[in-house]
Amino acid sequence: KAGVTQTPRYLIKTRGQQVTLSCSPISGHRSVSWYQQTPGQGLQFLFEYFSETQRNKGNFPGRFSGRQFSNSRSEMNVSTLELGDSALYLCASSSAPGQGMESPLHFGNGTRLTVT
């Protein structure tokens, strides 16, 4: 079974630009979560989608947005990039969003975003 696929692996953007990251979950998984990981802050939750609906959202500004398509693939968009947005962005899929106990997160390899 293929794992979670994130594209692209690396991105270099300049301040003020916008960026779109893509995530394809494990086949059959309908829940997709996005995280930002930085050395200082650790893993910070961005949002979670299940069946094309946003179920939870973290404490990030409105410049961070996402969506999920009918095939469960998800995209995350960051507009008006700031230097502080430089981070590893991780996508994780699971079979269900918090329903039942055994729905662990399976992470992709991440997209490393550098804002200059």
Partner 1 sequence: QKEVEQNSGPLSVPEGAIASLNCTYSDRVSQSFFWYRQYSGKSPELIMSIYSNGDKEDGRFTAQLNKASQYVSLLIRDSQPSDSATYLCAVKRSNYQLIWGAGTKLIIKP
Secondary structure tally for the chain: helices H, strands E: 0, 11
Four-point Cα dihedral 24, 47, 31, 25, nearest 10: 10
Q: How near is the Cβ of 80 to partner 1 at its closest, in Å?
A: 26
Please pick, from the candidates 1, 28, 42, 70, the single residue that binds partner 1 as defined by CB under 8 A.
42
The reply to whether 41 sits near partner 1 by the rule CB under 8 A is yes
Geometric angle at alpha carbon 95, from 30 and 21, rounded to 5°: 50
Out of 45, 60, 65, 79, name the contact with partner 1 by CB under 8 A.
Answer: 45
Candidate ranges 19-27, 62-70, 78-86, 92-100; the one touching partner 1 (CB under 8 A): 92-100
Pick from 14, 54, 56, 71: which binds partner 1 (CB under 8 A)? 56
Q: Which residues bind to partner 1, rule: CB under 8 A?
A: 33, 35, 41-45, 48, 55-56, 58, 90, 97-99, 101-102, 104-110
